[in-house]
Amino acid sequence: MTVEEDAALEALLAERSETKAVVRAVLAVWPEHASYLLKSFRSRTPRMLDTTEAAAVASRKLMAGEDSRFATDYRWTCDRLRDEELFFHREGRYRLSTFAEALAEVYSNDDYMSRYMSGLLLTQVLWYNHVALLDMFLGNLLGATNARFDYLEVGPGHGLMIYFAAAHPLANALEGWDVSSVSLAQTRAALDRLGVVKPVSLVETDILQVHSSPRRYDLVVISEVLEHLENPGDALRLLRTAISDQGRIYVNVPINSPSPDHLYLLSSPRNVEELITGAGFRIEEMQLHATQGRSIESALANRVSVSAGVIARPS
């Protein structure tokens, strides 16, 4: 990290104390990452920087004083992702293609999963594309909601999105589904640590094994889940039965984004559109954000990761 990079980051984050704390923890174990972070933060609008700080506040509650460990795990996670990227650009495909492979290599390895999840938590603060779609969720989905709503999230993970949904004054019932009881226990612990006081029902559900939802929700969220499935269209068709007549679904799915447990490759925005409309939805808004705020054209041409955010209604 150069003196100039340090000064530039200090100026960008002068009024963002929690974001600055996350950045400082990472740079303490990975000073060479400063140039990446500088590009990431320079690309953010003032609203996105506010969203970044909100994510940092929640993330640091979950880190519970173990900033150095989380920062170390973030660097470790980025190294794993770099390995997958090298394979992807060499072979033109994701390394794994079945859930059985992901289970054997990733999900059944407790130490691996612990480090991986800790590292991914910090991407919600540090990666431009992840913050951009969190900003879309907060501003364009929750922020555009003016009536009381029931909320469902599939794969709630660290609980950040349910946490923000529960803070909305119009939130009624909140529910999270996951195929893993272990993951749900981790989500429950996270929500407790975040101080969520509204009741949140967490249900062990395999959305690929049921044909229809027993109830309807006004807001349905599936964020960074579809790429982990062999048949994501089946999951979306199930969620089509879970949405109320005037309800909306928020989908966050990556394009050209190799990871240790990603199975389903979406290689273009058209692939995303076809996946969602093919499951019975009408797209109202779609945002595309590339890593470090790169142009979408450049990212797609070079098969660099792009995050796609979609708000849709039943068609």
Within a domain: 60? no
- Taking only the tens place, the pLDDT of each residue in 66-119 is 999 999 999 999 999 999 999 999 999 999 999 999 999 999 898 999 999 999
pTM of the predicted structure, to 2 decimals: 0.94
Within a domain: 309? yes
pLDDT confidence of residue 12 = 85
Within a domain: 76? no
Within a domain: 41? no
Between CA 75 and CA 65 the distance in angstroms is 18
- Portion of the chain with pLDDT greater than 90, in percent: 86
CATH of the domain at 132: 3.40.50.150
Q: ∠ CA(148), CA(153), CA(157), 5° rounding?
A: 135
Within a domain: 100? no
In terms of Cβ atoms closer than 10 Å to its own Cβ (0-12, 13-18, 19+), residue 51 is buried
| Number of structural domains found in the chain | 1
Query: Sorting pLDDT into bands at 50, 70 and 90, what band is 214?
Result: confident
Question: For 174-197, what is the mean pLDDT?
Answer: 92
SS3 state at 234? helix
Instruction: Give the position of tokens 């980051």.
Output: 9
Tell me the two tokens of residue 72.
Answer: 């170390």
Within a domain: 85? no
Between CA 218 and CA 79 the distance in angstroms is 39
**pLDDT beyond 80 at 1:** no
Quickly list H helices, the chain: 3-12, 17-29, 34-42, 46-63, 67-91, 99-102, 110-126, 128-136, 160-166, 181-194, 232-240, 269-277, 296-301
- Taking only the tens place, the pLDDT of each residue in 141-151 is 999 999 999 99
Domain that holds residue 201: 127-314
- Taking only the tens place, the pLDDT of each residue in 259-275 is 999 999 999 999 999 99
Give the distance, in angstroms, between the CA of residue 104 and the centroid of all CA atoms in the same chain. 23
Give the residue from 297, 304, 224, 289 showing the smallest Cα distance to 256: 304
